[in-house]
């Protein structure tokens, strides 16, 4: 069983919602990434989602676009990202790491070469924004061979008839994109997410993580009530942007505080769930 699968299963048994923070590798500079990953774990991350910088992040909003630009000033490549994971693994053998990015850097390496390299440094799963199940022949097999989980996205517009492909081809968890929009969008509609999650939970055979637009503890709390995992990205990355000129101490302080806000919200939601109190979905 994969490290990711085990982790999510263990949390589920304990009645806990997984907190999955996202940062862009190499942001604000290559030296910062491994330290930030350890900080995220220390502040309650269950899984880390590490963004692979790509020159044209079509599905990302301005916050992550700028993070990618900061990383690319340093020419951070897919190989560099794998190196950060290797160094991270020297001190943390437990926290699953998911790479999130776009297909072309992986195409440039070749599916097999990439999958083997990623697996050997301790990557656990790969999420490629512009790789739908329909095109994933070759890619899927390469990841499978290397024992990497394949995360696919599902969105509010995904019709039921496409969910079976996700069940068949995906593994680890399903990433539910909570709104129509790019990362960091503002209007997350809690009621809408709840309705869609009901539908997804009936059809999907994997844990479901909810991401996009979760910017504070209050929203995270609502999402934790209905999802298996909560994914937060732009809210953290924004703090890197805001504190980059001040240096790593301030970045760590700000990220740490924000992580505590999210962790507390998830723990509160979990406590509520475990107490068995009936709660109304908004």
Partner 1 sequence: MTIDFSKYPDEHGHFGPYGGVFAPETLMAALEQLKNEYELVKNDAAFLKELAEDLQNYVGRPTPLYYAKRWSEHLGGGKIYLKREDLNHTGAHKVNNTIGQALLAKRLGKKRIIAETGAGQHGVASATVAARLGLECVVYMGANDVVRQAPNVARMRMLGATVVAVESGTKTLKDALNEAMRDWVTNVDDTFYIIGTVAGPHPYPAMVRDFQAIIGREAKQQALQHENKLPDVLIACVGGGSNAIGLFHEFLEDDSVEMYGVEPAGLGLETGQHAAPLCKGKPGVFHGNRTYLMQDKNGQILGTHSISAGLDYPGVGPEHAWLKDIGRVNYVAVDDEEALQGFRDLTRFEGIIPALESSHALAYATKLAPTLSKDKMIVVNLSGRGDKDMNTIAQIEGIEF
Pairing of strands 174-177, 208-211: parallel
- Candidate residues 26, 51, 57, 227; the one interacting with partner 1 per rule CB under 8 A: 57
Q: How far apart are the first and last CA of the chain?
A: 36
- Candidate residues 1, 14, 134, 277; the one interacting with partner 1 per rule CB under 8 A: 134
Pick the catalytic residue from 60, 83, 149, 222. 60
The CA distance from 214 to 187, in Å, is 9
Would you call 241 a catalytic residue per the annotation? Answer: no
Total residues in contact with partner 1, by rule CB under 8 A: 43
Beta strands in the chain (DSSP E): 18-24, 48-51, 97-101, 125-128, 149-154, 174-177, 208-211, 229-232
Contact status: 22 vs partner 1 (CB under 8 A): no
| Span of 36-44, 49-57, 89-97, 221-229 interacting with partner 1 by CB under 8 A | 49-57
The b-or-e profile of 4-39 (16+ CB within 10 A means b, else e) is bbebbeebeeeebbbbbbbbbbbbbebebbbebbbb
**Helix axes of 62-73 and 234-243: crossing angle, nearest 10 degrees:** 50
Contact status: 108 vs partner 1 (CB under 8 A): yes
In the bound complex, what is the minimum distance in angstroms from residue 154's beta carbon to partner 1? Answer: 6
Pairing of strands 208-211, 18-24: unpaired
- Candidate residues 37, 63, 67, 131; the one interacting with partner 1 per rule CB under 8 A: 131
SS3 state of residue 229: strand
Pick the catalytic residue from 27, 46, 49, 241. 49
Task: Give the contact letters, 149-188, x = binds to partner 1 (CB under 8 A), - = no.
Answer: ---xxxxxxxx--x--------------x--xxx--x---
Contact status: 61 vs partner 1 (CB under 8 A): yes
CA angle 236, 238, 242 (to 5 degrees): 120
- Structural tokens at position 182: 């790019």
Would you call 49 a catalytic residue per the annotation? Answer: yes
In the bound complex, what is the minimum distance in angstroms from residue 67's beta carbon to partner 1? Answer: 13
Contact status: 103 vs partner 1 (CB under 8 A): yes
Cβ proximity to partner 1, 88 vs 114, nearer residue: 114
Q: Which residues bind partner 1 (CB under 8 A)?
A: 54-62, 65, 69, 72, 75, 77-79, 103-109, 129-132, 134-135, 152-159, 162, 177, 180-182, 185
């Amino acid at each position: 069983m994969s490290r990711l699968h085990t982790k999510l299963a263990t949390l589920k048994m304990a009645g806990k919602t997984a907190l999955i923070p996202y940062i862009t590798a190499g942001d604000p500079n290559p030296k910062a990434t491994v330290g930030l990953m350890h900080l995220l774990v220390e502040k309650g991350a269950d899984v880390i989602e590490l963004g692979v910088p790509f020159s044209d992040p079509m599905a990302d909003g301005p916050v992550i676009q700028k993070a990618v630009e900061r990383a690319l000033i340093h020419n951070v490549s897919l190989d560099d990202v794998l190196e950060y994971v290797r160094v991270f693994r020297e001190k943390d053998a437990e926290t699953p790491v998911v790479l999130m990015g776009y297909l072309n850097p992986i195409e440039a390496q070749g599916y097999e070469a990439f999958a083997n390299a990623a697996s050997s440094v301790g990557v656990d799963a790969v999420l490629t924004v512009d790789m739908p199940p329909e095109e994933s022949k070759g890619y899927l097999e390469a990841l499978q061979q290397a024992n990497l989980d394949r995360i696919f996205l599902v969105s509010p517009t995904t019709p039921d008839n496409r969910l079976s492909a996700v069940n068949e081809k995906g593994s680890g968890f399903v990433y539910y994109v909570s709104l129509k929009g790019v990362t960091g969008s503002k209007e997350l509609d809690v009621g809408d997410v709840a309705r869609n999650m009901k539908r997804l939970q009936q059809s999907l055979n994997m844990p479901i993580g909810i991401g996009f637009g979760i910017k504070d503890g209050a929203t995270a709390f609502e999402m934790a009530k209905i999802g298996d995992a909560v994914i937060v990205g732009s809210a953290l990355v924004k703090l890197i942007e805001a504190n980059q000129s001040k240096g790593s101490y301030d970045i760590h302080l700000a990220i740490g505080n924000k992580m505590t806000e999210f962790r507390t919200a998830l723990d509160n939601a979990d406590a509520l769930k475990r107490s068995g109190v009936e709660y109304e979905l908004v």
